[in-house]
Amino acid sequence: MNKNLSYTFVGLTLVAALWASCSDKKPKSGRTDTASSGVISFASDESFSPIIEEEREVFEKIQCKGNAELKPIYTSESEGITKLLKSEVYLMISARNFKEEERQSLIDRGLTPLAMILAFDGLSLIQNKENTDSCITVADIRRILNGEVTKWSDIYPGSKKGEITVVFDNKKSSAVHYVEDSILGGKSIANPNVAAVQTSAEVINYVEKTPGAIGIIGSNWLDDKRGDGSVARNRNIRTMSVTKLDKATPSNSRKPDQYYIYSQEYPLIRTIYALVTDPRRGLPWGFAHFLESPRGQMIIFQTGYMLPYRGDIRLKSIHVNEE
């Protein structure tokens, strides 16, 4: 029997990014790092740590040929931004841009804040595989977060999974800020059954053991290739499908794959930035530009989930005949 199946793939042709040379002038701070050498710390939202670790390894070993060492500080969005504003670090990987007052404060201190868009990320909802109700609307997510809905049966009549527990990676995380700003319209989460752990790995562990939970994590954790206990692959969890429509069905709901981020059919999309304040244009500046370079963007593309910002996206439909 012949079956005509149509598959849509996302292809990427990268566009070259401009690189500039750094100044050799040694500042009063005593820093001696350049755009491709030295030792420096930087901050990153913890939810992006899988992809940033891949990027860091390639940058240090291949791009800088072993002459650079980057020390990442994986933390919450709020704490990372605070470190940046205090000049404890000069690079922060964040899910938001500078606020206007932050930008002006940096300018008043003689710094030049720079925000580089790196990628688009689908904020992912994960659940225990025992829970078969895997499609959900944005409206129902809002109802859960504002406390209107507390049980699975309130959304799916007949469900016996009991209370819904929503789990975030951190109280000050970008995921919390996203749902409060983009889903709740600036209001705080009101559901009493909300838990905040410390890391995305702990969210995955919690959901794997709790059939009634919904975990909210960055999509790059869905296929973390580092091989430690934090990988979501082959765990007792699944990714929920989400729709903007009033009723969620398998046919109208989408998962945070690259194609559905590109087409904007997946509704929970956030922008990832490299926030740079480096007055020297040294190693933090060099790493940020590597992240938006063709090689850095290809690493993002190869996740299969995050969509790189720079590149010529090409879609191809392939028809396969199966016997």
pLDDT tens for residues 108-133? 999 999 999 999 999 999 999 999 89
Handedness of CA 205, 210, 215, 218 (dihedral sign): positive
Does the pLDDT at position 167 exceed 60? yes
Does the pLDDT at position 301 exceed 60? yes
pTM, two decimals, is: 0.86
How far is the C-alpha of 272 from the C-alpha of 94, rounded, in Å?
Answer: 6
Kindly report which listed range (67-76, 158-167, 219-228) carries the lowest average pLDDT score.
219-228
Does the pLDDT at position 228 exceed 50? no
How far is the C-alpha of 93 from the C-alpha of 220, rounded, in Å?
Answer: 14
Q: Which residue has the higher pLDDT, 314 or 322?
A: 314
Does the pLDDT at position 306 exceed 80? yes
- What is the reported pLDDT for 225? 53
For residue range 28-64, what is the model confidence (pLDDT) as tens digits? Answer: 667 899 999 999 999 999 999 999 999 999 999 999 9
| Nearest to 255, CA basis, from 111, 135, 154, 98 | 135
- What is the reported pLDDT for 82? 97
How far is the C-alpha of 149 from the C-alpha of 147, rounded, in Å?
Answer: 5
Q: Which residue has the higher pLDDT, 316 or 305?
A: 305
For residue range 143-157, what is the model confidence (pLDDT) as tens digits? Answer: 999 999 999 999 999
How far is the C-alpha of 92 from the C-alpha of 275, rounded, in Å?
Answer: 5
Element (H, E) at 290: helix 283-291
For residue range 2-38, what is the model confidence (pLDDT) as tens digits? Answer: 444 344 446 666 554 444 444 444 556 678 999 999 9
- What is the reported pLDDT for 220? 84
As separate numbers, helices (DSSP H) first and strands (DSSP E) second, the chain gives 9, 14
How far is the C-alpha of 276 from the C-alpha of 98, rounded, in Å?
Answer: 10
Q: Which amino acid is at 190?
A: A
Contacts of 264 (CB under 8 A, 6+ apart): none
- What is the reported pLDDT for 11? 61
Element (H, E) at 38: strand 38-45
- What is the reported pLDDT for 14? 59
Task: State both tokens at 222.
Answer: 């869905």
For residue range 239-258, what is the model confidence (pLDDT) as tens digits? Answer: 999 999 999 999 999 999 99
CB 63 within 8 A of CB 290: yes
| Nearest to 287, CA basis, from 121, 69, 102, 27 | 69
Does the pLDDT at position 230 exceed 60? no
In the chain, % of residues over pLDDT 70: 83
Average pLDDT, the chain: 87
Confidence label for 277 from pLDDT (cuts 50, 70 and 90): very high
| Nearest to 274, CA basis, from 105, 99, 123, 98 | 98
- What is the reported pLDDT for 13? 60
Could you write out the three-class secondary structure of 291-321?
Answer: HCCHHHHHHHHCCCCCEECCCEEEEEEEEEE
- What is the reported pLDDT for 30? 77
Contacts of 108 (CB under 8 A, 6+ apart): none
